[in-house]
Structure 1
């Protein structure tokens, strides 16, 4: 049997159950929600909601073509401040009807990495796919970004704003938003995610929220030594209002979660407010045209470009002469 997107199966389920659709005002949704809520606007219709933004020319996510990237030798490794410490207050975890989001207090910060100044971490959230073929234990793609057309089962976004802004909305007006993106692949059991995953059963429905004990942010991402290689481009938020001028960083090293841990996201969470609603699956925006933008790459293991290598020659020659004297 040919593979079908998860939303097709959901629509068949909705039809069989005779699910009622929403008649309320226009609002955005993912394609996987259309069967149960046909009046909502799925990603191809988002520009009808905010045409000046979602229809812009610097939209996210994108497909990164590695043969067309340019190396930026000024993209030094990030400096992570208080990523290795638990914040003073509890984390606040929310099912917002589109994903699970964890709100932070802004004490963890990033700098360097080609950024101008410090940015504070305000929230993180996830995007994921679904069980495409349960018999083969394969997952459908769920990441928003892709590399050479290949997508991962999930993607984590940690949203930061410049430290002089008080809120995300303020930072969006001042081009002060930077998002760190991490791909998530099927791998070994990740014990660092267990405390977070244990909270999902307590926020199953849209609007459910609670406080949870804080974790170290660095426990949820790869080790610092694995974060020196990343892609950089200027894009947008991946949900309406699709505000542009967001600085995107996508790390090459993926996070590993066990298959069962990834499945927890769509086995516990619903788009709506009851178990008659659909599970949250396929909550990603399709890739957008790159246009005339350039994707840059930072790689500490790459060779120096010829121009900088040429500058080293006189230095090496002088050093050799000093040894002969």
Structure 2
């Protein structure tokens, strides 16, 4: 991928991006990842236990949250966010890994409180979506509320603070904590980051974006909590899930940009419906914070950066 610009700052009108054929998953044979194209083809998620027995466990994700059955838990206070308001270098590694758009963070914002047993540090985020346009218009969120799904779901993956990486974190129960944000069709709250700089690596498979975007999130006090798993193989059980009630808004045009992705080389299969169906609760309780607290207007950069950077890379 090559970025071209004329003059000083990179302006939208001057932005030209050239994507090599390999960029969006057209040549991923040299890169290893656990979940291949077959993961989300019709009928395959129920067969994941043949790949990894953990996928047939009793604490699998995602789940359908039935609001009349949730349990109010007074200890679920608003989460604390550390480093989410620090721009840092803003350089993130974005990869089409063959089943989603995954962004690896080079900084480690942390979360705590909110009934979590310890602090957790963010390591990556990724998205799940369906078919955003008619006639199909298939919602793609993994979790659902009373059977209703949203067009998209954003997952911010955290590992326990004392773990070196995801593999290390998985050695202990409760090693991972995932923040889940629903994405609904709404207004186009942004078009492009005000400033972008980029460099090309590994034949365009990776991009590095430096953005300056801020976002005020004032109501993160209402959320659901349960114990579950990763939603793709190896389906590791030991994930503390936090699903926020308040969705993020993107326009239909922005959601549709994800339809340009493909699963693998020389494939006409668009990367859509990359979500796992709801799994049985098997007696697990879904807790509810019940809070309706207007949090102090903190600038949580990670969420808008996640969507802005990803959409920017898909826009050209």
Q: TM-score range by the shorter chain?
A: 0.7 to 0.9
**CA apart distance, 1:106:** 3.9
Q: Partner residue of 1:47? A: 49
CA contact (8 A) 1:62 1:145 kept: yes
CA contact (8 A) 2:219 2:292 kept: no
TM-score computed with the length of structure 1 as normaliser: 0.72
State which of 222, 230, 250 in structure 2 corresponds to 1:229. 222
Task: Write out per-residue CA displacement over residues 118-152 of structure 1, whole angstroms, 9 at most, x where no aligned residue.
Answer: 11110000000014524xxx731100000000000
Matched, 1:271 2:274: no
1:123/1:28 CA distance change after superposition, 3 Å: closer
CA contact (8 A) 2:64 2:144 kept: yes
State which of 286, 290, 302 in structure 2 corresponds to 1:295. 286
CA contact (8 A) 2:40 2:275 kept: no
5+ residue gaps in structure 1? 1-21, 36-40, 303-325
TM-score computed with the length of structure 2 as normaliser: 0.74
**CA apart distance, 1:195:** 3.9
Q: Partner residue of 1:213? A: 210
**CA apart distance, 1:301:** 3.3
For residues 258 and 132 of structure 1, the distance between their equivalents in structure 2, rounded to whole angstroms, comes to: 11
CA contact (8 A) 1:30 1:282 kept: no
Task: Write out per-residue CA displacement over residues 28-60 of structure 1, whole angstroms, 9 at most, x where no aligned residue.
Answer: 44668648xxxxx82111000111x10100000
Structure with the bigger percentage of helix = 1
1:132/1:30 CA distance change after superposition, 3 Å: farther
CA contact (8 A) 1:59 1:235 kept: yes
Q: Partner residue of 1:247? A: 240
For residues 260 and 238 of structure 1, the distance between their equivalents in structure 2, rounded to whole angstroms, comes to: 27
1:188/1:293 CA distance change after superposition, 3 Å: same
SS of the residue aligned with 2:274?
coil
**CA apart distance, 1:208:** 2.1
CA contact (8 A) 2:129 2:275 kept: yes
Q: Partner residue of 2:178? A: 179
Q: Which moved more, 1:248-257 or 1:293-302?
A: 293-302
Matched, 1:118 2:107: no
Greater RCO (Cα-Cα under 8 Å, separation 6 or more): 2
**CA apart distance, 1:277:** 3.1
Q: Partner residue of 1:257? A: 250
For residues 237 and 179 of structure 2, the distance between their equivalents in structure 1, rounded to whole angstroms, comes to: 15
5+ residue gaps in structure 2? 1-28, 294-316
For residues 273 and 74 of structure 2, the distance between their equivalents in structure 1, rounded to whole angstroms, comes to: 36
For these two proteins, the number of residue pairs brought into alignment is 259
Higher-Rg structure is 1
Q: List, as ranges, runs of 4+ consecutive aligned residues in structure 1 with deviation greater than 4 Å.
A: 27-33
1:207/1:100 CA distance change after superposition, 3 Å: farther
